[in-house]
Amino acid sequence: MRLLSLCAPALAVAAALGLSTGARAANLGAANAFNGFVFGNLTSHGQDTEGRLAVGGNFTASSYGVGSGGVGPAVPITNPRTDVLVVGGNMNAQGGWQVFNGNAVWGTSLTAAPTTTNGITYQGNPVNFAAAQADLTAKSAAWGALATNASVVFDGYSTLTLTATNAGLNVFNVSESVWEATSNKQIVNSFPNATLLINIAGSDVTQFGGMSYNGSSSPSNNHAGVLFNYPTATTVQTNNIAMLGSLLAPNAALTINGGGINGVGVAASALQQSGGEFHNFTFGGDIPYTPIVPEPGTCVLAGVGLAAIAAKRRAAK
């Protein structure tokens, strides 16, 4: 109570500015509008991204496609046209490939432009990658610290069964050793609107084998509420496995080595090879997120800073 009273002026100013100061339901922010979202560089040898793709660094690919659908739906044609591919650095569409049903946007330089179907190629910066990276890194860390409240059963050999027990948020915490040892990963959910947060610990994570959702590996988007979170990983590799949900690895170099991600894929950098793809499915879950509350001694400074922002905004009008 004393912390709240000391911070009340700062919190009041923040609320007036429309800034978040408490727990709220949250998803993947700016990344939620895309199928693949990479803060740094993306390199691909063939393959595709079935939905929209955002790359904050350089994007180099050959024989590639963006937005055409496949396992998931194609990007719809809109008017005005959607920015289907956004690259913050250099765009190099070497060898020729296509962006379907919208625009291709390059940031700092253009080595080779893709063919655009129902769209154009232009220079711009429609995505704030730095802000998205800060947001998703903080969320990944906070969500990774949540306690398990659902059923995690490892048979000691090859099968891991994760069963939702709540109609709202279900949290599963799985060690790197168990995750990597299991070739049969079963996700069971009988709640239609539940969110399943699967936190995988470890720094270098490899996943392989089969994955099922409610006993079926069907690619239909009934797994929209599933999020695989790797808050401490620096490398994540998928080997010929269909990840039935979205993937959040904000600090990791992601390698999709065969198989695919059936959801939103977020990583620090990425390499696609051997048929590894981003399949166009969304993330529909909601996970509470509480930004860090300042210590009492910093509240006065925070209030002064926020008041200065408010005054500057008023002066600019």
pLDDT tens-place string over residues 39-71: 999 999 889 999 999 999 999 998 999 999 999
Radius of gyration of the chain (CA): 21
Q: Where are the alpha helices (DSSP H) in the chain?
A: 2-16, 129-144, 176-181, 296-316
pLDDT at residue number 14:
38
Structural domain boundaries in the chain: 2-20+292-312, 135-249
Whose CA is closest to 143, among 294, 285, 287?
287
pLDDT at residue number 5:
37
Range scoring the smallest mean pLDDT among 5-19, 29-43, 68-82, 155-169: 5-19
pLDDT at residue number 1:
33
pLDDT at residue number 220:
75
Q: What percent of the chain has pLDDT over 90?
A: 77
Per-residue burial over 220-257, b = 16 or more CB atoms within 10 Å of its CB, e = otherwise: ebebbbbbbbbbbbebbbbebbbbbbbbbbbbbbbbbb
pLDDT at 85 over 60: yes
Provide the pLDDT confidence category of residue 151 given band limits of 50, 70 and 90: very high
Write the DSSP symbol of residue 257. E
pLDDT at 273 over 50: yes
pLDDT at 11 over 60: no
pLDDT at 230 over 80: yes
Which residue type sits at 316?
A: A
Q: What percent of the chain has pLDDT over 70?
A: 84
Q: What is the rounded CA–CA span in Å between residue 102 and residue 85?
A: 8
pLDDT at residue number 4:
35
Summary mean pLDDT of the chain = 87
Range scoring the smallest mean pLDDT among 73-82, 166-175, 207-216, 305-314: 305-314
The two structure tokens encoding residue 46: 């063939």
Provide the pLDDT confidence category of residue 18 given band limits of 50, 70 and 90: very low
Would you say 204 and 172 are in contact if contact means Cβ atoms under 8 Å apart? no
pLDDT digits over 250-269, tens only? 999 999 999 999 999 999 99
- Residue of higher predicted confidence among 21 and 250: 250
For the segment 271-297, the average pLDDT, to the nearest whole number, is 85
For the segment 211-226, the average pLDDT, to the nearest whole number, is 85
pLDDT at 112 over 50: yes
